[in-house]
Amino acid sequence: MVEPHPFNAVLWVPYLLLVLLALIVKPFPRRALLFLPIPPLTVYVLLSTTGEFLSDYLLGLSWLLVFWFSSDYILLTDVQRTLRQVPASKAPIENASLWRRTRWAISLLLSPRGVGWAHEPTTALPAHPAAGTSRVTFIAQRLWKTLLFFLVHDAANLHVQYNTMFRADGPGWRADGWAWRAVIVLSWALSTYSSMMMTSNILSIVGVASGLSRPEDWPAFFGAPHEAYTIRKMWGFVSTHGKYLAQDVLGLRSGSNASSYVQLFTAFALSASIHYGAETMALRSWDGGALVFFMLQPCMITVEDFLLFAARKAGMREGPMVRRLGYLWVWAWFTLTLPIWEEPLVRAGQMEEGIQFSILMGLWRGEWVLKQPFQI
């Protein structure tokens, strides 16, 4: 690959200003031209490096996430005439003052899941906290949950630090048979899930404590784990790009199976491009596994949908036993496919930069900071 040049964090300023400008200006026929500087700027950034693997990976993820949202908001959606905050103001935002449109644009950019907007995918997101929940109650609840998630992450992280299969110079995830492979996948899932929930909880606490947002503006980042008994439910996301391709380009009827599956594959293609672009930037190699991993998911969801349809036709009804089988099915699927994506990242040292503070080891042996190499 091309030798990377040093990344300059100042590039975030023109990038975000370009996106905000496109959201702030009043609608005009050539608004799509505002997107033109964004692709070359993105290519320039992806060919740069911060000098650290994990920083490069996170930079690639965040930059490409903004890239695809901006392509939606600038190229596909007439945002000021289509998108509405909840509750909506009586006057159209396109007729509002420059300051009001600026606040509106910032709010839209900071709501990638559409929370607090009419386009929020309510069926794909967890329930909002009850209206009227006090700030003190909300903060106390999220602090308690954050502590619980930290303990889960702590336990999973101890396994990550101990097991050589997570080390860059280790044998890899597929070296010691299917049983250990399944354990590795479960440990990775618990570590990743708990860390993302902790991060979102901390952000919600800061947002509510500062008065910038209300408790009801913060649904949980993920749904409850007990709902993940099919691969579709495990993922469950949609994209505007998929709707545009299915309904505007291909002319498929909204709600039809064809439209649904075009949207499904498009959503995973976007996710694949984000993760593959980020890992290519970090690994400095085209050999990452995100593209294959993410595109396998809609293929198996399609098969899964057919199997569930056939099972219902045969008289099978959902119950506790079916759900237990579903959990095993999902676990088995990710045991099979997750190493395709994660092994190249692990070999680059992704899992060696985790949290080195441990409550569990501190309480057990007085070792609050993990020693390397970690031994139990």
Contact 190, 156 (CB under 8 A): yes
Taking only the tens place, the pLDDT of each residue in 175-191 is 888 999 999 999 999 99
Q: Given this model, what pLDDT does residue 164 score?
A: 87
Task: Provide CB contacts within 8 A for 223, sequence distance 6+.
Answer: 125, 126, 236
Residue 240 in this model has a pLDDT that exceeds 60? no
Q: Given this model, what pLDDT does residue 350 score?
A: 84
Distance CA 58, CA 65 (A): 11
Phi (first) and psi of residue 354, to 5 degrees: -80, -175
Taking only the tens place, the pLDDT of each residue in 213-239 is 889 889 888 888 888 889 988 887 555
Residue 168 in this model has a pLDDT that exceeds 80? yes
* DSSP secondary structure, 246-314, as one string: IIIIS-PPTTSHHHHHHHHHHHHHHHHHHHHHHHHHHHTSS--SHHHHHHHHHHHHHHHHHHHHHHHHT
Q: Given this model, what pLDDT does residue 9 score?
A: 95
Read off the tokens for 322: 């079916």
Task: Provide CB contacts within 8 A for 98, sequence distance 6+.
Answer: 24
Phi (first) and psi of residue 211, to 5 degrees: 85, 5
Phi (first) and psi of residue 305, to 5 degrees: -60, -40
pLDDT classification of 369: cutoffs 50, 70, 90:
confident
Give mean pLDDT, residues 269-276.
94
Distance CA 99, CA 109 (A): 15
Taking only the tens place, the pLDDT of each residue in 105-135 is 999 998 888 888 888 877 777 888 888 899 9
| Angle formed by the axes of helices 12-24 and 53-71, nearest 10° | 20
Whether the full predicted model's pTM is greater than 0.85, yes or no, is: yes
